[in-house]
Amino acid sequence: MTENKKSVNISRRRLLNYGALTVASGALTAGIGKAAVSQTTNIPQKVAQNDISPDSSPEEVLEALMAGNKRFVENKRQNPNLDAARLTEVAEGQSPFASILACADSRVPVEILFDRGLGDLFVVRDAGNIATPEEIGSLEYGTLVLGSKVLMVLGHERCGAVTAAVAGKPVPGQIGSIVEAIKPAVERAKGQPGDGLENAIKANVLLQMERLKGSPVIAELIEEGKLTVVGGYYDLDTAEVSLVS
């Protein structure tokens, strides 16, 4: 057993001991301890369309996620899981079927563009959809603890953060740290045929996916067939999400 694997197993055992793997978020939000464990509740994975069950494979979950985007594109939104009953249900716990790392851009509201509601998606957003240690930790929680079967990095057309990285000019404050995280993707995309910015945005999605897969926690879930990590590109003009590989 490698050192990495050992640490994953240990951390998982610790989570099991605390009851966190019963798909209850109380352990992190209320502080890990006996009191938090006694308040945990199992919430079955449920969405309005009944298109996902606890037995669904990661591939089936991805299909359902993309179907929600298709409804949004075609202006056939069902606005699932937004009623009072769902509010009451998820107040007790959560089991989001997908975790998504998306850009903070105001034009990329994740739940809306995938036509999903309360408790369906575990969403982490920052400028440039970059996987920093905090983001990786959050998404380890969304997948390992909460049980998401799909982990998507979602970039988008005309991303300001990637545009800044491509321009390579000085930026104020701590915006520079975002640009630095994207720069390797800009380098990779250089010389590719087609639109330079779009290429850099897609290369950035792939780069951040690599960073996530570098997490031993996420790598083990993939190896066990419990999780698939995918890249997405959101077209601001058509509202369509296409897969990036």
Residues that bind Zn ion (CB under 5 A): 103, 105, 159
- What is the DSSP code (8-state) at residue 133? H
Closer residue to Zn ion (CB): 105 or 135: 105
Return the number of other C-beta atoms located less than 10 Å from residue 33's C-beta: 11
CB of 209 vs Zn ion, minimal distance in Å: 16
Residue 103 vs 203, nearer CB to Zn ion: 103
Q: Between 144 and 159, whose beta carbon lies closer to Zn ion? A: 159
Q: Which is nearer to Zn ion, 62 or 201 (CB)?
A: 201
Q: How far is the CB of 171 from Zn ion (least distance, A)?
A: 14
Q: CA 184 → CA 143, 164, 178, 181, distances in Å? A: 26, 13, 12, 7
| The residue type at 105 | D
* Phi and psi, residue 52, nearest 5°: -135, 135
Cα separation of 98 and 124, whole Å?
11
User: How distant, in Å, are the alpha carbons of 2, 41, 49, 88, 219 from that of 244?
Assistant: 31, 36, 26, 36, 19
CB of 106 to Zn ion, least distance (A): 10
Q: How far is the CB of 130 from Zn ion (least distance, A)?
A: 10
CB nearer Zn ion, residue 150 or residue 162: 162
- Strands 228-234 and 150-156 come out as parallel
Rounded to a whole number of angstroms, the minimum distance from the CB of residue 166 to Zn ion is 12
Q: Which is nearer to Zn ion, 41 or 177 (CB)?
A: 177
Distance separating alpha carbons of residues 179 and 189, to the nearest angstrom:
15
Give the span between the Cα atoms of 84 and 158, in whole angstroms: 37
Residue 156 CB, nearest approach to Zn ion (Å) = 6
* Residue 62 contacts residue 114 (beta carbons within 8 Å): no
Chain position carrying tokens 């640009």: 179
Indicate the Cα dihedral angle 186, 189, 194, 195, nearest 10°.
-10
